[in-house]
Chains A and B, each alone.
Chain A
Amino acid sequence: MNEATLAQTPTEEDATQRAMLRPVQLALYLAGVILAFMAIAPLFWMLSMSLKPSNEVFDTNLIPRRPTLASFVYVFTQVDFARYLLNTFFVSAAVTIIALILHSMAAYALARLRFPGRDAIFLAMFATFLISQPVIIVPLFILARALHMLDSYAGLIIPSIFNAFGIFLLRQFYLAIPRELEEAALIDGAGYFRIWFSIILPLSRPIMSALAILFFLANWNSFLWPLTITSNQDLWMVQVAIASFRQQYNGSWNYVMAASTVVALPTIVMFVIFQKRIIESIKTTGIK
């Protein structure tokens, strides 16, 4: 077999292999389609149930027989859902913008500037990398209470800004930028702030936009922190709102699904638009 394969010219060999692989290939395609369907089917069911009248919710048909927007109307008229969406948009956007600016500055210092203690600071930042919020939620809550941040936008925004992940990726990116550009500017007498602002920042647009999407999604979807520090309903973020909505309307699943669809749709649309960028940036997250 071995010798025979070797004796054949590459094209013939490829042709026979291709012929042999066809059924296998077909099976793999089929597997891909089935798995992809399994991945998104629950989301379709969510949409389907949100469009069904309450007496049809648990019927097994995916396409609603009598589709209605009544549940959506209910969600927006009976509950202050628009306000929760606005809160969430505001908080997520604020965190994203502030975090990008601060992380870019820190990453620039870590990648380029020489100052005593830099490596120690980097190590300390790295050490916070895997500390997830649930682990420190109790002291964080006590701290926020001491800083009078409970039930405030500041409390929702400020503690969410700081995480090592963004600094880390940006630093890696900046290390790969050639130094010549900055050195020329330095000789021309530009200060470090100007170099960061007019050279580094424009150069980091691709990674910044990827991070912006990831940060925005993470904050839009965050639940634990807003749940912990807001009791004032006016400050609710959407995830907290749908969680309590579910308790309030226990059993009225068409309302709960309509609210869920409203909350999930912006992130899904955002993902579909920016999928290339998101997928590429996550692929490179694994250690390089």
Chain B
Amino acid sequence: MQDHTAETSGGAHHGAPSIDRGPRLSNLARERIAGYLFIAPDAIGLMIFVGGPMILSLSLGFFSVSGFGEYTFVGLDNYRRMLGDPLFWRSLQVTLLYVVALVPLLYVVGLGLALLVQTDSRFNGAIRTLLFMPQTVSLVVVALVWQVLVIDKIGLFNQWGAAFGVGSISWLGDPRFALGTVIAISVWFLMGFYMLIFLGGLQDIPKEYYEAARIDGAGPVQSFFQITLPLLRPTSFFVLLVSTVTAVCGSQTFDLIYIMTKGGPANSTSLVIFYIYQQAFQFNEYGYAAAMASVLVVVLMAITVLMFVLTQGGRFAHE
């Protein structure tokens, strides 16, 4: 039955060629086997090292894991504990603050930089390269360098501040400033990447549109709002989605917090992704950490599915 359908569909697709290669059916079987063999290594690898852990995370949340690797089923205990854990709620609050500040900032800065260096010239090319440069350095190095620059009293920023009569500010040690400092450094690090993404989007907008708008008497501001922004919608969507995911659970976010603040001071930079890590690897609370992570996994899966549906598998309908 299956062979029969295969034969007809194969005939429809192939048409004339492959006369001298024996019966058509075996060609089709060969193509299938080749397909599975080619995709197997990556498919199995992804299943074991990404998909598997994702599912494992969901089930691990119902267990309590001892330091010796003994599992005890505890039902919803971990989830109940989550509800009553003020530090968990605090970390959610910090994460929300971080996302709400960082995502729009990156959007505006990224787009602004892209518009600034949009036209192709040697000068703009050099500026683009320099703006992207921070991206090539690891977050550990970034965190270490910034830590020295904003260090209390003797750091460069505080010495400059002192020159203007501003008292020393503990940029990373004062709960009022720490998260803001982390956000500023994140923008500094990430802006080059989003600039490039926006540049890619801007390149796709036909120049004729601007020409036509100019002839119709539209100023630069008008053509930005009437042409650029609407036509950048797919790019904007991509930028907002990726920057949100990065802010919530990117490894970059984790690295920065791990090196610079360890969640402090007074939990003011305790992002949920860092809190999960702490619970798992500092307090050996693997089950509890997995339960919190699975809440994040569910949110992420929802976002991914939404993205797939909205973009029809990475393509926008009107393109």
Contact = CB atoms under 8 A, between A and B. Distances in A.
A264 B137 contact: yes
The interface residues of chain A, by DSSP majority, are classed as helix
A60 B192 contact: no
A285 to B, nearest CB: 6
B205 interface: no
Contact of A143 (B52, B148, B156, B254): B52
Given A49-B148, A224-B251, A268-B137, A105 B39 contact: yes
Nearest to B58: A139
What is the interface residue range for chain B against chain A?
A: 35 or more
A86 interface: no
Contacts of B21: 189
A45 B54 contact: no
Given A142-B60, A260-B144, A263-B141, A45 B297 contact: no
A187 interface: yes
B188 A126 contact: no
A193 to B, nearest CB: 7
A76 interface: no
B46 A128 contact: yes
A189 B276 CA distance: 55
B203 A283 contact: yes
Contact of B304 (A122, A130, A242): A130
A108 interface: yes
A235 interface: no
Given A43-B145, A113-B35, A260-B141, A128 B123 contact: no
A151 to B, nearest CB: 15
Interface in A14-65: 28-29, 31-33, 35-40, 42-43, 45-46, 49, 57-58, 60
Nearest to B136: A271
Interface in A96-155: 102-103, 105-106, 108-110, 113-116, 118, 121-143, 145
B140 interface: yes
Contact of B38 (A40, A105, A257): A105
Contacts of B8: none
B146 interface: yes
Interface stretch (A67-75, A77-85, A159-167, A201-209): A159-167
B104 interface: no
Contacts of B39: 105-106, 109-110, 118, 121
Contacts of A33: 127
Contact of B45 (A38, A57, A162): A162
Contacts of B127: 32-33, 35-36
B304 A284 contact: no
Nearest to B191: A39
A286 B197 CA distance: 6
Given A43-B145, A139-B60, A221-B139, A134 B254 contact: yes
B154 interface: yes
Interface of A: 1-2, 5-6, 28-29, 31-33, 35-40, 42-43, 45-46, 49, 57-58, 60, 102-103, 105-106, 108-110, 113-116, 118, 121-143, 145, 158-159, 161-164, 167-168, 172, 183, 186-187, 189, 191-193, 196, 217, 220-224, 227-228, 239, 242-243, 246, 253, 256-257, 260, 263-264, 267-268, 270-272, 275, 279, 282-288
Interface of B: 13, 17-18, 21, 30-32, 34-36, 38-39, 41-43, 45-46, 48-54, 56-57, 60, 65, 69, 113, 116-117, 123-124, 126-134, 136-142, 144-146, 148-149, 151, 154-156, 159-160, 188, 191-193, 196-201, 203-204, 215, 217, 234-235, 237-239, 241, 245-246, 249-251, 253-255, 258-259, 273, 276-277, 280-281, 286, 289-290, 293, 296-297, 300-301, 303-305, 307-308, 311, 313-316, 319
Q: Which 3 A-B pairs have the closest CB atoms?
A: A115-B35, A283-B200, A221-B138
